[in-house]
């Protein structure tokens, strides 16, 4: 018999509920409620240059949500929305594809993350979304070209609910650590811990977290050195404490004790995002891309609340 430890297997224990949650994801009546229909027309309470709006932000957001759900073009979205309203016997006008494209640059989308009691553990990560350029096969065979363009999506996940608390879409050259303040500003729940990989091991991140009273769960680089020695009258720095703990018990054990591995939930969210919506952004305009990415995050939060698999290790 092998001396190697037997790899743990997990068993899903709520298949019935999870299957129903997966079915409900495709039900478009989930997104078109009576509240949406009642607020379909824009009230135009605020003055604006030019013609007043006909459709409310909620109406535009609902139709754009259908566009993201079913991966449609703007023209197809217009036709699909008309068909849905006809089947549901709802008598409302549908904006044309030009109006949808223009309004997509301006609407503000809330992620609608759940409020929880107490504080939360935020886990963060980023991933690339392609805007235009070659496919993976061509890249592997012939390499990259200058026209291959990406955006970087930064997500902050509530470790407990697995919902997206905050998101930022940037160009592909933006450093992960540069958007930490913006992510934290978006969160509606009080953050107690912040978990990120080595890309966040920068003093500007530690200063931001210290100012906000948030404990960092970030692995220091392998060549990291202690900044404030033990003889200092000032309180020890969290990064220095992590370095000391790693020297004492090893990096793997420190990660286990600190709960660092919960950060993998951010990678799981990235995987779900790309599995459901694909690895590309459909829009070419930067503001529309931000709306597109935010809508995807909001939809993913809805899917998460519908139900996730619960499992036990065997």
| Short-list 77, 47, 182, CA closest to 124 | 182
| Short-list 157, 183, 159, CA closest to 170 | 183
Taking only the tens place, the pLDDT of each residue in 53-91 is 889 999 999 999 999 999 999 999 999 999 999 999 999
CB 292 within 8 A of CB 282: yes
Residues 7-32 have a mean pLDDT of: 85
SS (H, E, C) the chain: CCCCCCCCCEEECCHHHHHHHHHHCCCHHHCCCHHHHHCCECCCCCCCCCCCCCECHHHHHHHHHHHHHCCCCHHHHHHHHHHHHHHCCCCCCCCCHHHHHHHCCCCCCCCCCCCCCCCEEEEEEEEEEEEECCCHHHHHHHCCCCCCEEEEEEEEEECCCCCEEEEEEEECCCCHHHHHHHHHHHCCCCEEEEECCHHHCCHHHHHHHHHHCCEEECCCCCCCCCCCCCCCCCCCCHHHHHHHHHHHHCHHHHHHHHCHHHHHHHHHHHHHHHHHHCCECCCCCHHHHHHHHHHHHHHHHHHHHHCCCCEEEC
Measured distance CA(155)–CA(150) in Å, rounded: 16
* Mean of pLDDT over the chain: 89
Q: Beta-carbon neighbour count of residue 314 at 10 Å?
A: 7
Residue 240 is encoded by which pair of tokens? 């220095």
CB 155 within 8 A of CB 305: no
pLDDT value at position 51?
Answer: 73
Measured distance CA(238)–CA(311) in Å, rounded: 34
| Residues above pLDDT 70, as percent of the chain | 89
Residue 115 is encoded by which pair of tokens? 């409020």
Measured distance CA(127)–CA(138) in Å, rounded: 21
Q: Does position 259 have pLDDT exceeding 60, yes or no?
A: yes
Q: Does position 8 have pLDDT exceeding 60, yes or no?
A: yes
pLDDT value at position 232?
Answer: 84
Taking only the tens place, the pLDDT of each residue in 127-148 is 999 886 555 555 555 565 555 5
Q: Does position 35 have pLDDT exceeding 60, yes or no?
A: yes
Q: Is residue 175 very low, low, confident or very high in pLDDT (cuts 50, 70, 90)? A: very high
Measured distance CA(242)–CA(197) in Å, rounded: 14
Measured distance CA(229)–CA(213) in Å, rounded: 22
From its phi and psi, is residue 114 left (phi > 0), alpha (psi between -120 and 50) or beta?
beta
Q: Residues in the chain, how many? A: 314
pTM: 0.88
Residues 190-212 have a mean pLDDT of: 96
Residue 26 is encoded by which pair of tokens? 């495709």
Distances (CA, A) of 119 to 83, 122, 160, 261, 311: 44, 10, 10, 19, 25
């Amino acid at each position: 018999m092998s001396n190697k430890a037997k790899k743990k297997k997990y068993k899903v224990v709520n298949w019935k509920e999870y299957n129903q949650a997966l079915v409900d994801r495709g039900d478009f009546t989930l997104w078109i409620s009576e509240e949406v229909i009642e607020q379909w027309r824009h009230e135009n309470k605020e003055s604006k240059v030019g013609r007043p709006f006909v459709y409310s932000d909620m109406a535009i957001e609902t139709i754009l949500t259908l566009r993201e759900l079913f991966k449609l073009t703007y023209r197809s979205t217009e036709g699909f929305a008309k068909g849905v309203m006809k089947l549901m016997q709802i008598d409302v006008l549908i904006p044309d594809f030009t109006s949808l494209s223009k309004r997509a640059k301006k609407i503000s989308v809330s992620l609608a993350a759940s409020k929880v009691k107490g504080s939360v553990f935020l886990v963060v990560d980023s991933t690339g979304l392609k805007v235009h350029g070659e496919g993976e096969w061509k890249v592997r065979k012939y390499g990259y070209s200058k026209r291959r363009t990406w955006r970087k999506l930064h997500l902050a996940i509530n470790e407990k609910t697995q919902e997206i608390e905050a998101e930022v879409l940037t160009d592909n050259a933006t450093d992960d650590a540069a958007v930490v303040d913006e992510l934290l500003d978006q969160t509606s729940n009080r953050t107690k811990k912040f978990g990120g990989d080595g890309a966040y091991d920068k003093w500007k991140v530690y200063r931001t977290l210290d100012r906000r009273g948030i404990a960092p769960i970030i692995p220091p680089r392998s060549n990291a050195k202690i900044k404030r020695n033990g003889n200092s009258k000032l309180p020890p720095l969290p990064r220095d404490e992590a370095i000391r703990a790693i020297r004492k018990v090893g990096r793997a054990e420190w990660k286990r004790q600190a709960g660092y591995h919960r950060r993998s939930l951010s990678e799981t969210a990235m995987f779900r995002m790309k599995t459901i919506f694909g690895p590309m952004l459909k829009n070419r305009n930067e503001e529309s891309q931000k709306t597109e990415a935010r809508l995807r995050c909001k939809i993913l939060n809805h899917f998460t609340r519908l139900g996730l698999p619960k499992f036990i290790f065997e």
